[in-house]
């Protein structure tokens, strides 16, 4: 689905990236621990998180995350938005809690970027 | 182990410790450089991930540090050298889930005890040495 459809499903506010809502997304990873995001999230996925600091953008940048969705009605810090603009990563916010955000997207076809953790190394 | 290889690119980056102000700045530069060299997306991404994890460690636990990037025709060598508290038990620190992170570090979303094992997983070669009260030296190699 497109990021625009994600935005509509989540009734999300777009903090940055209005011009990128046409991008296609298929997978997502949800976590508040950037350490876990770095270990498990795959390129091209949405990042669903409750954190609002600039490290969510840095983490997304190194991992080639497609877009960031901040959950639980929080707003990104001003320096987070500035960094998202600099690195050109869309950043949206929804009032839904993480569980509801995930459930609503999953029902419409977005799946996890991995199903389970595995012992095998996978760099994608 | 790389003496027979020509270093085609080398750069060193300094990083202030005990603050997250610039965390991620070096990994962005490393990624941009590697992308300009037309290396594969996967290689650039892995190099950026291990550099970023190393940056987070310096920002979390060291007074200051530097990251040295070397590129040869066959591999990327990244070293992270810091002056800081060092690691008393490396085997324990390598264990997933083990962490000595403070509240401040956890507040940023780090300190879950995944960093060093993640660096190892994303590298083809990983070596760590550390002296308590002196600092830590990480060496990562990624094959091109």
The domain spanning residue A94 has which CATH number? 3.40.1390.20
Range of the domain at A22: 3-112
Q: CA-CA-CA-CA torsion for A62, A68, A71, A73, nearest 10 degrees? A: 120
Q: In what order do the strands lie in the sheet with A67-70?
A: A13-16, A91-93, A67-70, A46-49, A27-30, A111-112
Domains held by chain A: number: 1
Is A9 part of any domain?
A: yes
Task: Measure the CA–CA gap between B47 and B66, rounded to whole angstroms.
Answer: 16
Residue B33 at interface with chain A, using a CB cutoff of 8 Å: no
What is the reported pLDDT for A27? 98
Q: Using the predicted structure, report yes or no on whether residue B130 has a pLDDT greater than 80.
A: yes
Say what the ipTM of the complex is: 0.91
Please give the residue of chain A at the shortest CA–CA distance from B29.
A62
| Mean pLDDT score of chain B | 95
**Residue A38: its chain B contacts at CB < 8 A?**
49, 52-53, 114-115, 118
pLDDT (tens digit, 9 = 90+) per residue, A7-35? 999 999 999 999 999 999 999 999 999 99
The ranges assigned to domains in chain B are: 9-143
Element (H or E) spanning B56, and its range? helix B41-61
**From the list A51, A62, A64, which residue is nearest B109 (CB)?**
A51
Pick the CATH number of B9-143 from 3.30.565.10, 3.40.50.1860, 3.50.50.60, 3.40.50.720: 3.30.565.10
Please give the residue of chain A at the shortest CA–CA distance from B47.
A62
Residue A118 at interface with chain B, using a CB cutoff of 8 Å: no
Residue A109: partners with Cβ closer than 8 Å, 6 or more residues away: A1, A26
What is the reported pLDDT for B1? 53
**Best CA proximity match to A81, nearest among A53, A119, A44:** A53
Is A36 part of any domain?
A: yes
**From the list B20, B52, B122, which residue is nearest A123 (CB)?**
B122
Is A101 part of any domain?
A: yes
Task: Give the best residue of A35, A56, A59 to mutate against chain B (max B CB count within 10 A).
Answer: A35
- B45–A63 CB contact, under 8 Å: yes
**Best CA proximity match to B124, nearest among B103, B106, B105, B141:** B141
CA separation, residue A96 to residues A52, A65, A107, B21, B69 (Å): 15, 21, 15, 30, 42
- B108–A36 CB contact, under 8 Å: no
- B24–A33 CB contact, under 8 Å: no
Residue B52 at interface with chain A, using a CB cutoff of 8 Å: yes
**Residue B113: its chain A contacts at CB < 8 A?**
35
Residue B11 at interface with chain A, using a CB cutoff of 8 Å: no
What is the reported pLDDT for B5? 84
Percentage of chain A exceeding pLDDT 70: 98
**Residue A43: its chain B contacts at CB < 8 A?**
41, 45
pLDDT (tens digit, 9 = 90+) per residue, A90-100? 999 999 999 99
What is the reported pLDDT for A119? 72
Q: Using the predicted structure, report yes or no on whether residue A102 has a pLDDT greater than 80.
A: yes
Is A53 part of any domain?
A: yes
Is A124 part of any domain?
A: no
């Amino acid at each position: 689905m497109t990021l625009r459809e994600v935005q509509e499903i989540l009734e999300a506010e777009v903090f940055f990236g209005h011009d990128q809502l046409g991008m296609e997304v298929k997978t997502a990873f949800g976590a508040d621990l950037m350490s876990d995001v770095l270990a498990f999230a795959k390129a091209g996925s949405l990042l669903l998180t409750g954190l609002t600091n600039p490290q969510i953008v840095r983490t997304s940048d190194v991992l080639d995350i497609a877009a960031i969705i901040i959950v639980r009605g929080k707003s990104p810090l001003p320096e987070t938005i500035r960094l998202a603009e600099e690195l050109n990563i869309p950043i949206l916010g929804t009032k839904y809690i993480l569980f509801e955000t995930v459930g609503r997207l999953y029902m419409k076809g977005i799946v996890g970027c991995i199903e389970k953790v595995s012992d095998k190394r996978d760099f994608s | 182990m790389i003496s027979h290889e020509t270093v085609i690119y080398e750069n060193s980056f300094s990083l202030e410790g005990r603050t997250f102000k610039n965390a991620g700045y070096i990994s962005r530069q490393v990624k941009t450089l590697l992308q300009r060299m037309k290396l594969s997306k996967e290689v650039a991404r892995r190099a950026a991930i291990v550099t970023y994890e190393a940056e987070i460690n310096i920002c979390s636990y060291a007074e200051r540090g530097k990251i040295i990037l070397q590129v040869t025709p066959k591999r990327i060598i990244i070293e992270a050298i810091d002056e800081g508290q060092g690691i008393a038990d490396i085997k324990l620190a390598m264990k997933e889930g083990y962490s000595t992170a403070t509240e401040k570090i956890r507040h940023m979303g780090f300190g879950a005890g995944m960093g060093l094992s993640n660096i190892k997983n994303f590298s083809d070669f990983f070596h760590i040495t550390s002296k308590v009260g002196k600092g830590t030296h990480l060496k990562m190699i990624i094959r091109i």
